[in-house]
Structures are given as structure tokens and as C-alpha cells.
Amino acid sequence: MVHDMFGHNIVEKIKEQYFDAFLTAHFEVPGEMFSLAIEAKERGMGVVGSTQNILDFIKDHLKGALDRNVDEHLQFVLGTESGMITSIVAAVRELFGLYNSSQERANIDVEIVFPVSSDAVSSTHINGSQHIGFSIPSNLDNLTVVPGVSSGEGCSIHGGCASCPYMKMNTLGSLLKICHHLPDKNNKLSAYQASRFNVKTPLGMSVAEVGCEPILHMRHFQASKRLPEKLVRQVLHGNEDEPSW
């Protein structure tokens, strides 16, 4: 659900309007966007992987541009959840800061294209049928769209898991609250344990174990730059003793 925002129309628009851009795709994006990024990767213009793989890809290409020191516009189509934009901006700013020196620098800029249906983006048009529900500061008068979706908890039938609320439930504040209760000598935290994760699948595995497997595959790929053998075996041959997706 988190990455189910790249429909057929969006993919076709990317092919037509961003054919010369770098394409990135998270492992969890739907097939069409995934295939598009795989094709770009074969041309040396794309990456498919975890959020860290995507971030490293963007940083590597920016470093290359800064080393060449010629005027250049780097355009990246970001095929993942919008929460990653903050870390990309921070990394890009840090690299620009490291390369600032007395030497005359070329005009290099980085553009991040977030491909989501226009029907799933909030509008600042107060008098229209859609609005964001609060007054617009004067310095934002000319802004026609804002990050996020037009309705719901980050979800839209138009392809709007642009900003997933479930990814943002585990905040630093929540984690600190848990830490303040440790060690749990009075067993107060046991009431909050997710007992439903003890449920078994038809193959006898816990749903927690099955649910963690995709992220473990991603971590393996991130560390080794290779797909884990277990995942390859499941995809190519299947295994009755192991879950498959």
C-alpha cells in the first residue's frame, strides 16, 4: 500500500516527459514503475533498491557532477514515499557545502521529481472545490500545490500514498516514552504487546516472521549489493516450506 501510487498513467508520463532523467525505484513499488527503473539501470540511468541505495545513487551522481565542475542540471525521478525527500535535500546541501571553495564553481542544480497523480495532491486554491483548510501566507500566494494529498490519512483513490501515515507512527518521542519505562520491572508494557503477531500462517510460520522477511531481504541487498539466495530461490522455484509473495 505504501508505494502503490505509480499507476499506468504516471508511468507513461515519465516515459514521455522524463526519458532523459535518472529513475529511482524502491523495492516495493508496483511492477510498471519497477520495470521502468530496471530499464534505466541497464542504461546506467537508474537504480532499484532500498531508500539508502537510492540516496547513495543520487549522492554519487552529484559528486561526479561537482568533480567535473561544469554547468549541469541533474534530474531524479523519485519512486518511493515522499518522506525520503528530507534526507535527500539534507545530503545534497551537505555535498554542496563541502565543495564550496575559493575556486569558481559551475552552475549545478538538482531537481527531484515526485511522480504522483495530480488528483492526489493538495491545492492552495481556497475558492475551488478542493482546499487545504487554512489561510495562505502572503509569500505562498503563487504556490499552486503543496506536498501531501487532498484528503484522508495520506491516501487517495487516485494514487495518493504519497505520504504514508503508518511510516510516521514510530516517532522519536514515542520511542523515548518506552525507554523511560525500562526496565519494565512491573510488567506494565506487556499489555501493549501485539499478540496478534503470534498468529500462524497456513504453513506454520508466525505472521511476524513472514512480515519481517522482505525488510531483511532489503537489508541484505543494501549490505552486499546482491539479492539474497533465499529470495532468488523463492522467486524462481518457490518453496513449500517458505513463504512466497
Domains and CATH numbers, the chain: 1-115 (3.40.50.10800), 118-169 (no CATH), 186-236 (no CATH)
Q: What is the phi/psi pair of residue 112, to 5°?
A: -105, 120
What number of other Cβ atoms are within 10 A of residue 83's Cβ? 14
Q: What is the pLDDT of residues 82-131, one digit of tens each?
A: 778 889 999 999 999 988 765 688 999 999 988 766 555 555 554 444 43
> Is 50:43 a contact under the CB 8 Å cutoff?
no
Cα 95 to Cα 56, 64, 98: the distances in Å are: 12, 11, 5
Q: Which residues pair with 145 in a beta bridge?
A: 123
Check residue 110 and give its pLDDT. Answer: 94
Check residue 57 and give its pLDDT. Answer: 95
Lookup result for grid cell 495520506:
154
All three cell numbers of 176:
523515548
Which residues in the chain land under pLDDT 70?
1-7, 101-103, 116-168, 196, 239-245
